[in-house]
Chain A
Amino acid sequence: MLTRQWVHGWLLLMPALTFIFLFTHIPAVVTVWNSFFSTARGRRPSVFVGLDNYERLINDPVFWKVLSNNLWFALGTIPTSIALAIAMALFVNRQFLGRSLVRMAYFTPTVLPLIAVANIWLFFYTPGFGLVDQILGAFDHGQTNLLGNPDTALAAIVVVSVWKEAGFFMIFYLAALQAIPPQLAEAARIEGAGGWTIFRRITFPLMMPTTLFVSINAVINSFRLVDHIFILTAGGPDNASSLLLYYIYETSFRFWDTAYGATLTVAMLALLCLLAIGQFFLFDRRVHYK
């Protein structure tokens, strides 16, 4: 009887397990394996090189550059998009005329493909006749070249990402807000609490599980969203706006240095694992309101 249940259990798990192994675990293991070999080129086959690729990684200035870019990108996108999402959710949670329209407007960037978004923003940023310059021009400001300047290129990309993501996170906060019983706020108001106190002491703590979920997604996205870089800057100027995943793509599919690409991927996997563990174990205890 027990064995039969056991077999049934495994059979039920089989489809999901097959896919998770086929598309997640096996590629991950193969990637780690490949990172210990050299890249095969037409005339030279792949050979075992031990930790050579990792040594190269440590001495690769571009790797450190894109890693620090990625950290700045994460710092720039995560808090901003979460704060914006909360603000938008609070705003559209009230009753007012045209509420559905505003909700839809906030959510629109999420529906658009990132490549399309990037092309729209490419026009906004175009020096001289782009939207940004046309608006600034009305205030007698000279031409800007936000994407063509290493000091501003990454920030310009951060803005696009925040614009794209905030609407998506807003939906989760909106759902969380609607799950909070209105009596809590009413009771607090009777006690004489102001709007800010209600938000700080009641609304925000009750939304913590959502914040955890959203922040994990935001962290993943900050390493995963690179589509717009292809359109906007191609990582330039001089890697000023390149991110880790974009560098992995370039190394693997432009330079066809797949072994080093695998090494970079291992570095990224390790980083993401650390972040996920950190978030779950450290965050999780403070999430639920007691």
Chain B
Amino acid sequence: MTMLANLLKGAAAAAALAISAAAPARAVDLQFYFPVAVGGGAAETIQALTDEYMQLNPDVKIDAVYAGSYQDTITKVITAARGGNAPQLSVALSVDMFTLIDEGLILPFDDFIKTEEDKAWLNSFYPAFMENSQTGGKTYGIPFQRSTPVLYWNKAAFAAAGLDPETPPATWDEMVEMGKTLTRRDANGNVTQWGVRIPTSGFPYWLFQGLTTQNDAILANADGNETNFDDPRVVEALQYLVDLSTRHEIMEPGIVEWGATPKAFFEGQAAMMWTTTGNLTNVRANAPFDFGVAMLPANKRRGAPTGGGNFYLFDGSSEEQLAEAVDFIKWITGPEQSAKWTMATGYVAPRPATWDTETMKAYAADFPYVLVARDQLDHAVAELSTYQNQRITQIFNDALAAAITGQKDAATALAEAQAQADAILAAYR
């Protein structure tokens, strides 16, 4: 009897000990949504980094939630926030900044930047990435999985077509010329290898913004309330894109699928492709041939949009949670962590400090193409971003699709899109 009582006492004491050990004085729970938009092991890397942070900070518990594509993520975040369950932090498209501000869901980081060290951290990102992260003198986004489109080319296909495998096209005209040489047809006239592939499904505006920037046009103002869709230089850029399929016949006609693009490149269906630098590691692992990576070709100038996701801080949590969330963001954008992320995916490390780490230097020495996207940042502009961003870009996407599929000519489609965008954005001027 006494033995049983002692046993029970012992068990109770052990349980009490376990409970007190599991609940330290200051436990913070954070929820963190992230999207994955590229092939490769992006989700595993985020989870691994989060786990590492929790090991270093045992009093913090971060629940990293894979939330689907960028589109799914922003929908989930806004739905959760409207239902009063906003996550503390989330990675979402940098271009959704105005939308999130308009919805009143996010907080500027400035309130959490107190020390000189913090200020230095905030100023340590590439300016091209901060363009989509700041408005009205405040910082709403911290660059994380940022990208820019680059041109990948198949060196074996270049050599087979009699082109120099080490020289990618540097201008629009060169891309057309080389594309013609690279487009191969079988005896029946059916194409077996296209010269170039610029995917146009889903969000054609992004790669198209490469063309408009190269043609020296800017699609939207910095306040996010005015677009320039009907600018003649934009029309010219769209005409160039349409001509690739219709006049020059070096690109697959119709809407070209984004998701299947790397696969088409691996299969030799296209000798050159435009896609995000976030696919770099995927291509490196899966291309069965020697490939090259180059900046997008130039026309009036070199140019490309930036893209990808920022960290946002959501309203509706305790000060303590938000401060902890900011600490986590500081840590994960730190040079070593950021280097791991860049090596796992190909996303552009958003701070010069990352590129100065020994890890990154060694990686770049072994694989110099990782530097192409970083160097292209000198020519990059902010990705198209406005108030009611999803709707405005959808209008623009529809116009591009109408022109690409030959339903409307470039000028008409863009003029209509501009009129629709004006009607919506007038409320924000």
Q: Which residues of A contact B427 (CB under 8 A)?
A: 44
Which among B102, B269, B388, B407 is the interface contact of A129 at CB below 8 angstroms? B269
**With known contacts A129-B269, A255-B394, A257-B391, A143–B404 Cβ distance under 8 A:** no
Mask: chain A, 27-68; 1 = CB below 8 Å from B; 0 = not: 000000000000001111000000000000000000000000
Q: How far is the CB of B335 from chain A (nearest CB, A)?
A: 36
**With known contacts A145-B253, A238-B401, A255-B394, A43–B102 Cβ distance under 8 A:** yes
Once the chains bind, are A238 and B405 in contact (CB under 8 Å)?
Answer: yes
Q: Which of the candidate stretches A146-154, A194-202, A220-228 sits at the interface with the other chain?
A: A146-154
B318 at the interface (CB under 8 A from A): no
Which among A44, A150, A256 is the interface contact of B405 at CB below 8 angstroms? A150
Q: Which residues of B contact A257 (CB under 8 A)?
A: 391
Once the chains bind, are B201 and A255 in contact (CB under 8 Å)?
Answer: no
Q: Which residues of B contact A285 (CB under 8 A)?
A: none
Q: Which residues of B contact A148 (CB under 8 A)?
A: 200-201, 252, 254-257, 405
Once the chains bind, are A254 and B71 in contact (CB under 8 Å)?
Answer: yes
**With known contacts A254-B390, A256-B103, A237–B190 Cβ distance under 8 A:** no
A126 at the interface (CB under 8 A from B): yes
Once the chains bind, are A255 and B255 in contact (CB under 8 Å)?
Answer: no
Which among B191, B390, B394 is the interface contact of A143 at CB below 8 angstroms? B191
In the bound complex, CA of A171 to CA of B407 (Å): 42
In the bound complex, CA of A196 to CA of B402 (Å): 48
Which among A41, A143, A145, A238 is the interface contact of B407 at CB below 8 angstroms? A238
In the bound complex, CA of A122 to CA of B190 (Å): 22
Closest B residue to A141 using CB positions: B190
Question: Within residues 228 to 257 of chain B, which ones have a CB less than 8 A from any CB in chain A?
Answer: 252-257
**With known contacts A254-B71, A255-B391, A129–B264 Cβ distance under 8 A:** yes
Interface of A is mostly: loop
Question: Within residues 116 to 136 of chain A, which ones have a CB less than 8 A from any CB in chain B?
Answer: 122, 126-129
Once the chains bind, are A253 and B79 in contact (CB under 8 Å)?
Answer: yes
- Quick one: which of B79, B254, B390 has the most chain A CB within 10 A? B254
B412 at the interface (CB under 8 A from A): no
In the bound complex, CA of A142 to CA of B191 (Å): 7
Q: How far is the CB of A113 from chain B (nearest CB, A)?
A: 15
In the bound complex, CA of A35 to CA of B256 (Å): 37
In the bound complex, CA of A60 to CA of B215 (Å): 33
B352 at the interface (CB under 8 A from A): no
In the bound complex, CA of A255 to CA of B78 (Å): 11
Q: Which residues of A contact B267 (CB under 8 A)?
A: 128-129
A234 at the interface (CB under 8 A from B): yes
In the bound complex, CA of A141 to CA of B188 (Å): 8
Once the chains bind, are A237 and B255 in contact (CB under 8 Å)?
Answer: yes
Closest B residue to A249 using CB positions: B75
- Quick one: which of A128, A143, A250, A253 has the most chain B CB within 10 A? A128
**With known contacts A42-B104, A128-B269, A255-B390, A143–B252 Cβ distance under 8 A:** yes
Closest A residue to B406 using CB positions: A150
Q: Which residues of B contact A41 (CB under 8 A)?
A: 102-103
In the bound complex, CA of A44 to CA of B103 (Å): 10
B330 at the interface (CB under 8 A from A): no
Mask: chain B, 382-399; 1 = CB below 8 Å from A; 0 = not: 000000101100100111
A239 at the interface (CB under 8 A from B): yes
- By a beta-carbon cutoff of 8 Å, the part of chain B in contact with chain A is 71, 75, 78-79, 99, 101-104, 188-191, 200-202, 252-257, 259-260, 263-264, 267, 269, 388, 390-391, 394, 397-399, 401-402, 404-405, 407, 427
- By a beta-carbon cutoff of 8 Å, the part of chain A in contact with chain B is 41-44, 122, 126-129, 137, 140-143, 145, 147-150, 233-234, 236-240, 250, 253-257
Selected A-B contacts with CB under 8 Å, 20 pairs:
A41-B103, A43-B102, A127-B252, A127-B260, A129-B264, A137-B190, A140-B188, A142-B190, A142-B191, A148-B255, A149-B255, A236-B398, A238-B405, A240-B405, A250-B394, A254-B71, A255-B394, A256-B78, A256-B103, A257-B391
